Structure 1
Amino acid sequence: MSVPVTTQDLAPQASTGGNFEKFAWIFMRLSGAALLVLVIVHVYVNLVAGDGVHKVDFAFVAGKWASTFWQVWDFAILWLAVLHGTNGVRVIIADYSSRSVVRFWLTMLICSAAVLMLIAGTLTIFTFDPCPTGRTSGHLPSFCPAP
């Protein structure tokens, strides 16, 4: 005996999870576009406009991060890249893990790693001392006082 299938049975079910997935999808598109601009400018300033990769050293980074503008620029790259990547891995975990317990713990693991990276990166950017004591003047930016 077969049960007849109605059009109501074939209709998509309403989501009870709110709009999180919609906002996550929009975030991926916007953050991807923003990251494209941020990273291209970052690479251009660090490698093309300067003297190339061989001149990127402590003094170069210290000189750059002495400016609040570049700190905020690199902060934006850090946060957008980590959140964009974490959301992408979260979607992959949701697509490929068949057991809800595994999905939960993998998502917790990736979110914990993201939080640690955001904390470490943010602290590095905003607590960076461009003129540390105990360094020779040849390794410091030109604006630092001589040791």
Structure 2
Amino acid sequence: MTTIDAPRSPYATTRTGVNWEKWGWIYMRASGVVLVVLIFGHLFVNLFLGEGVKQIDFAFVAGKLADPFWKVWDTALLWLAMIHGANGMRTIVNDYVAKPQVRRILLGAIAVSTAALVILGTLVIYTFDPCPAGADPALVASFCEDL
């Protein structure tokens, strides 16, 4: 009879409660599928519809962010991509960093930077003013002239 050695990670066994590794694995698969749809939708609208990349300027972005649908789309894209990437980085740190103190520092840096970017990105999406006061009318969206 053969025996399988215990995994080398001390975190793999003897834990009770929520299996965060399993939920992280499931999140990576589910968010990956949703991200493919969000990313290709984003690229299609920005690069293939209309005039292609030539159309992307302040007015184009302002027009998109004036629409609640695109605010939700961009927010979902931001949150899923950032958390997906951070979870991947967390997995790499857990796999390759042997010293517990260094691991804690790196995981903390990943968590802080991810939280900061998600918060700042969400603030930009929801507080963006598509019609800034005193802006050149040639540079802002066409619907700003009516305001």
TM-score by length of 2: 0.89
Query: Counterparts of 1:15-94 in structure 2 under 5 Å?
Result: 15-16=15-16, 18-94=18-94
Specify the code of the residue in structure 2 equivalent to 1:28. Answer: M
Structure 1: distance between partners of 2:110 and 2:59: 34
Structure 1 unaligned regions, length at least 5: 1-5
Structure 2: distance between partners of 1:142 and 1:120: 27
Specify the code of the residue in structure 2 equivalent to 1:26. Answer: I
Structure 1: distance between partners of 2:136 and 2:122: 27
Structure 2: distance between partners of 1:90 and 1:10: 25
Aligned to 2:10: none
Specify the code of the residue in structure 1 equivalent to 2:136. Answer: T
Cα deviation code 1:11-69 (max 9, x no counterpart): 78453363111111000000000000000000000010121112100000000111000
Over 3 Å off, 4+ runs:
9-15
Aligned to 1:136: 136
Aligned to 2:107: 107
Specify the code of the residue in structure 2 equivalent to 1:118. Answer: V
Specify the code of the residue in structure 1 equivalent to 2:117. Answer: M
Contact conserved, 1:137 with 1:146, CA < 8 A, in 2? Answer: no
TM-score by length of 1: 0.89
Structure 2: distance between partners of 1:44 and 1:113: 29
Secondary structure in structure 1 of the residue aligned to 2:138: helix
Aligned to 1:95: 95
Same amino acid, percent of matched pairs: 50
Structure 1: distance between partners of 2:29 and 2:102: 27
State the number of aligned residues: 141
Secondary structure in structure 2 of the residue aligned to 1:16: coil
Structure 2 unaligned regions, length at least 5: 8-12
Structure 1: distance between partners of 2:6 and 2:56: 58
Structure 2: distance between partners of 1:117 and 1:67: 22
Contact conserved, 1:86 with 1:114, CA < 8 A, in 2? Answer: yes
Secondary structure in structure 2 of the residue aligned to 1:138: coil
